[in-house]
Structure 1
Amino acid sequence: MSEFTAACVQLRCGKSVVANLEQSEGLIREAAGAGAHYIQTPEMTNVLVRSRDELFERIGSEDADLTVARFKAIADELKVWIHAGSLAILLPDGKVANRGLLISPEGRIAARYDKIHMFDVDLPNGESWRESATYEPGSKTLLADLPWIKMGMAVCYDVRFPAIFRTQARMGAGLLTMPAAFTRQTGEAHWHVLQRARAIENGAYVVSAAQGGLHEDGRETYGHSLMVDPWGRVIGEIDGDQPGFVTAVIRPEEVAKARQRIPAIANERDFAASHAQEEREIPA
Structure 2
Amino acid sequence: MRRFRVAVALAGAVLASSAVVVFGAPPEASAAPAYQMPFPCGQVWSGQTRSDHSPANAVDLNRANDDGDPVGAAAAGRVSRVANEGSTSYGRWIEIDHGGGLTTRYAHLSVQRVAVGDQVSPGQLIGNVGTTGGSTGPHLHFEERSGTSAVRISFNGSQILYWGTRSYTSHNTCAANNPYTPQAACGSGFQVIDWAALGSAGTTYLLYNGSTNCVATIKSTSIGTASATSAFLEVQGGTRTTDSGSFAYYAGPVKKSAAGKCVRWGGSVGSSSYTSPFEHCG
- The reply to whether TM is greater than 0.5 is no
More strand by share: 2
Using the size of structure 1 for normalisation, the TM-score is: 0.27
Task: Tell me which structure has the larger Cα radius of gyration.
Answer: 1
